[in-house]
Chain A
């Protein structure tokens, strides 16, 4: 996409589009940096075959790491909400599911596994998979916060039943967020269609070509993105017919 500067033989071609603000990137990486030690130390405490590592002084050390990381993990979104409340609310809204996300679910396997681009309806700034990841992480953050505080400070204070429920929900949140994290990591680091997402989380920008292809609703606007997608589907059907 280019614009012509009137009265001059000069063209400006759009190349890079800001996708993440500096604060969004700091929050993302700070959350990652605290989530990984939480996950690793949590797994040692969770899996029976790793429990020998959680005994004695090593166990005390692991619990300390887990708690320190948990404090930072909990604080990062709170600080973000205090420093940039408008952006924080906008991000939460970005992750809320929409009716159109069903199209992403239907198109995900043909698109990601077989590279059939016409199977994927146009996506916004975040595709439905990224939204799902964000939503799971937000819910997990709330569950970790409540249950973690009960497990840390509630022993002998809350009833044993509440304590056991807290442990169960803490474990469930860990399983859900760990699965999401692994999928997210694979797509961001290894998947050939999605590697540019990692670049944009590193540098804050995405190329115009990538945005047009992977975030067409955000790039062209909903109406034009749908027209382009319909044309793409017709072309694919025409090719398939021959």
Chain B
């Protein structure tokens, strides 16, 4: 079964997500900050990362996905942003390196069914 890294500084959210993911038999590993997430990723090579954005600082998660995109060992791991930040969606194609690529963006509070569907989708695309 796929190994999923849950990155979030809120232990309640991590516990809840772990419970949701385990219902489908996923192996779950966790990290509480961007730096810790990168360390765990390099060691454990997860199949997918659920990444909070706002942790030690607001753009912590963005910096993690930017670093992943530049690392040949990590760049192919799908990333689903799970965040309480409000983002405006718009049609368009990123013109420059200012933009950070992710596989999906989900708002908190999460809907367990939606989360599991998005994870399945991202793992299939991999």
Contact = CB atoms under 8 A, between A and B. Distances in A.
A125 to B, nearest CB: 9
Contact of A3 (B54, B91, B93, B105): B105
B91 A9 contact: yes
B59 A2 contact: no
Interface residues of A, number: 27
Interface in B46-103: 53-54, 56-60, 62-63, 65, 81, 84-94, 98-103
B124 interface: no
A20 B63 CA distance: 23
A128 interface: no
B56 A3 contact: no
Contacts of A99: none
Contact of A4 (B85, B100, B125): B100
B85 A18 contact: yes
A127 B53 CA distance: 22
B81 A16 contact: no
B104 interface: yes
What size tier do the contact residues of chain B reach?
A: 20 to 34
A77 B62 CA distance: 35
Given A11-B89, A13-B90, A15-B87, A6 B57 contact: no
A5 B104 contact: yes
Contact of B102 (A5, A17, A18, A205): A5
Q: Output the residue of A13, A217, A224 with the most chain B CB within 10 A.
A: A13
Given A2-B99, A3-B105, A16-B85, A218 B57 contact: yes
Interface in A75-124: none
Given A219-B58, A221-B60, A11 B90 contact: yes
B59 A1 contact: yes
Nearest to A13: B88
B59 A221 contact: yes
A218 B87 contact: no
B88 to A, nearest CB: 5
A12 B87 contact: yes
Contacts of B94: 2, 4, 11
B11 to A, nearest CB: 9
A211 interface: yes
B57 A220 contact: yes
A10 B90 contact: yes
A222 B56 CA distance: 10
Q: Output the residue of A11, A15, A224 with the most chain B CB within 10 A.
A: A11
A15 B87 CA distance: 5
B57 A3 contact: no
Interface of A: 1-7, 9-18, 205, 208, 211, 217-222, 224
The 4 closest A-B pairs by CB, nearest first: A16-B86, A12-B87, A4-B94, A221-B57
Interface of B: 53-54, 56-60, 62-63, 65, 81, 84-94, 98-105, 125
20 contacts: A1-B62, A2-B94, A2-B98, A3-B81, A3-B100, A3-B102, A5-B105, A6-B102, A7-B125, A9-B92, A11-B92, A12-B89, A14-B86, A15-B87, A17-B58, A208-B85, A211-B58, A218-B57, A220-B58, A222-B57
